[in-house]
Structure 1
């Protein structure tokens, strides 16, 4: 059986193959309007429309936050909100013209160039990011990829996005993926590429705007299938496996609530997102060194590798080769050993509250130049001047174990499933808040209100520090739940109904990124 990541990129001929049945009519109007707007903007018909959805962390990945950098498995799910692009190839120029149906995002045009070494150059100012910066990032990623041949024809692109920026629903990944898919399609470079190839291209492209991404967002947007979450594994290689969402009694639904606090990774990454990546990688390297593991000082080590070595060899913590209905005793022991090692080797009294950069460099046994080369390719700003390795490591290992417990629960429990899943979600939120420090007061407010209004579990989704929450809610109370949370959450007061409907809504599983020739 072919692994989902190894499947070819998708082309469909109608949007009823893209969206859940109850969303097709409204989306059909939206897509038709996009075609008409393209003709008004550029004076001709587009050749196709491409799509990439946002994602929310549901089922297993409801508790998988920030462990993709550690190479542990996570399970996100594509959602209905997405970015769609009407695409028009131009053979008379190399210029890329972009417009947006939302007029607050102004049009722009740019042309790639080459440096003296013949390498592609696209001007991106990561200090002042705009919406089209992500289009430029995608173009640079495309041109750098061997499959492109280092060249692109000109393009006219018209964007329509329904994933709120900074919402924690991966709007930036959806922008980059859809843009890459537009470029691949227009240049005739889709053949021979797999979904996994597009995931890797997208990961590299998003780095062009200064974001160090672990791949969960991209995998969810590209590889997902309808009616299922996606179990994503990163070690030893990127792979994904559909996880059917079961029927329960009572039936359950997931409600996304946007805090309306912007989680802009590109501008806050140095003391939030990127800093956690450095604390994670440096912590794993230091733990491996103190355990006497056979890694070179310049190796980037992930906690997933450390756990494997502690277990005495390769253990799949992502499901391959393991009875999916059970978390084996050996896996549990591997996690226990890793957590014990973290306490012993990273949790001593002198280092428990963190290490300065100088202390960390000395502990790793490398030079300042080597530390910069390995860990500081993207800017970071340690909080209080200290890298907090111990408490971040505890979150990562405990969160990874919760992912496995979540999956076991969803595959074996019946009557107790909703309650059990909710409890795991709540423990995850506590850890994200107290150990990984990626919550905020608005997330805490919404999750607290959600539990009081009948949610079985509620937690942040996405990178944190703002963005959205996801709550596990009995389906029968969803309308009243949304109404009550809307009345109580402080930042929802006074919002027009249209904005409120975009801020809090029940979600359905969606298909992944695709090209379509709908009504063109």
Structure 2
């Protein structure tokens, strides 16, 4: 059986293969409008429409860059692009149906290797277009060249919402480039995930891969268990029928979570704290890693367990395939408590103290960890609390997946409550240990719990963006109405704005290409 990440990219010929049945009519109007707008802008009919959805992460926050598995799902909101290849030029022209995003046109340089000018300090929407182009040109499959092309974008994933609008932008643009250059053959879903991870790094974001995997590999009616070690894989986790039936409600805080501009003291700092913490733990456990190896906590788990064969190899007990992993996670948590939870590390280390603890020079520390700018909070790198969140969250992911796959050990009536409890524990840890929540997220999750949500948590990078709540399906309309009335930043919004800010969703399909006749 072919693993989902090894499957070829998806090409579709009808929208009922892309969207749920109740969304096809409205999406058909939207896609037809995009084609007509493309013809109006560029004077000819596009050859393809490509699509990449946003995603909501159900459980597993900020652990993908430590190589632990996560459980996201694709959602209906997406980025679609109408594209027309041009053989007469290398120029890229990009426009957006939303007039607040100005058009752009640029030509990559091919002298001395492909180059695209990206101003990282002042990102605009088309910075992600350029980032994708550069990622494409650097990939061997491109041959280092691209035809010119015209593109018209239409996005329904709110920017900065924590629903991976940036990943959807980059992935859809990469699909556009692959389609325009007749390079779709020979690229798997996993290849596109890795290509898009590298491309998003071109705008200064050190991404772990969850967003890209969810957008590319997802299938309808299922969440996705994405693992990154020992290799990238994505396994469907079908959402079962429960009693009561459940739905996931996404609520945008309307606080922009802009990873690129706040990364130095939020996202990128957490990546550095994670890598440095793993290096220090490995050193104190006597493992044969140096900081330059950038060992991950997931690799340390494998070492603690005595080898990966006991965790994911053929010897794993198929009746409870994650039992070994859960035990190894708990053992690693004990090691974190012993080696990083002591007085000298628990409350944070200054940069000089961290350099000394790792036996590094200032230059080697900078070379290893500071390729992207970071600004430690209060001058302290907080290794212990970040490590504790990561291992506990990784354990919650396995418990969440196991609960779904076993039907809460056969007690389906208890499944919604159990999943909600795990989501609530995740939010507590994101707020208190990883410190990626904010007052608006705390406000919405509190209101959600009071209005009947079984569990509510931030989703995405945090520091704003969106929340996801597990809600009994029969109370969803009332739940949305009451949260809309009570959340402070929803006051004064019109009906259309509210419908974009808070909505119910179920798992949706992943990225695809739609050739036009």
**TM-score for both structures, normalised by structure 2:** 0.97
Q: Which residue of the partner structure matches residue 39 of structure 1? A: 39
Q: Which residue of the partner structure matches residue 400 of structure 1? A: 394
Q: Which residue of the partner structure matches residue 511 of structure 1? A: 509
> What is the correspondence of 1:2-151 to structure 2 with a 5 Å cutoff?
2-57=2-57, 62-115=58-111, 118-151=112-145
Does structure 1 conserve the Cα–Cα contact (< 8 Å) formed by 2:453 and 2:469?
Answer: yes
Give the deviation of 1:317 after TM superposition.
5.9
Q: Which residue of the partner structure matches residue 457 of structure 2? A: 459
Q: How many residues align?
A: 513
Does structure 2 conserve the Cα–Cα contact (< 8 Å) formed by 1:260 and 1:467?
Answer: yes
Q: Which residue of the partner structure matches residue 438 of structure 2? A: 440
Give the deviation of 1:362 after TM superposition.
1.1
Does structure 2 conserve the Cα–Cα contact (< 8 Å) formed by 1:325 and 1:408?
Answer: no
1:6–1:388 Cα change, 3 Å: same
Give the deviation of 1:517 after TM superposition.
2.5
1:263 is paired with a residue whose SS is coil
Q: Which residue of the partner structure matches residue 476 of structure 2? A: 478
Q: Deviations over 1:69-99 (max 9, x none)?
A: 1111111100000000000001111100000
- Cα distance between partner residues in 2 of 1:85 and 1:300: 37
Give the deviation of 1:42 after TM superposition.
0.3
1:328–1:156 Cα change, 3 Å: closer
Does structure 1 conserve the Cα–Cα contact (< 8 Å) formed by 2:51 and 2:513?
Answer: yes
Give the deviation of 1:328 after TM superposition.
5.5
Q: Which residue of the partner structure matches residue 342 of structure 2? A: 348
Q: Deviations over 1:337-359 (max 9, x none)?
A: 21111111111112211111111
- Cα distance between partner residues in 1 of 2:215 and 2:36: 26
Does structure 2 conserve the Cα–Cα contact (< 8 Å) formed by 1:325 and 1:411?
Answer: no
Which of 495, 498, 508 is the matching residue for 1:500?
A: 498
- Cα distance between partner residues in 1 of 2:93 and 2:131: 14
- Cα distance between partner residues in 2 of 1:436 and 1:135: 31
Does structure 2 conserve the Cα–Cα contact (< 8 Å) formed by 1:391 and 1:435?
Answer: yes
Q: Which residue of the partner structure matches residue 277 of structure 1? A: 271
Q: Which residue of the partner structure matches residue 158 of structure 1? A: 152
Does structure 2 conserve the Cα–Cα contact (< 8 Å) formed by 1:73 and 1:317?
Answer: no
Does structure 1 conserve the Cα–Cα contact (< 8 Å) formed by 2:162 and 2:461?
Answer: yes
- Cα distance between partner residues in 2 of 1:390 and 1:126: 31
- Cα distance between partner residues in 1 of 2:138 and 2:204: 16
Give the deviation of 1:220 after TM superposition.
0.3
- Cα distance between partner residues in 2 of 1:242 and 1:154: 37
Moved more, 369-378 or 490-499: 369-378
- Cα distance between partner residues in 1 of 2:485 and 2:418: 28
- Cα distance between partner residues in 2 of 1:67 and 1:317: 18
Does structure 2 conserve the Cα–Cα contact (< 8 Å) formed by 1:451 and 1:458?
Answer: yes
- Cα distance between partner residues in 1 of 2:414 and 2:403: 9
Give the deviation of 1:364 after TM superposition.
0.9
Q: Which runs of 5+ in 1 are unaligned?
A: none
Give the deviation of 1:333 after TM superposition.
2.9
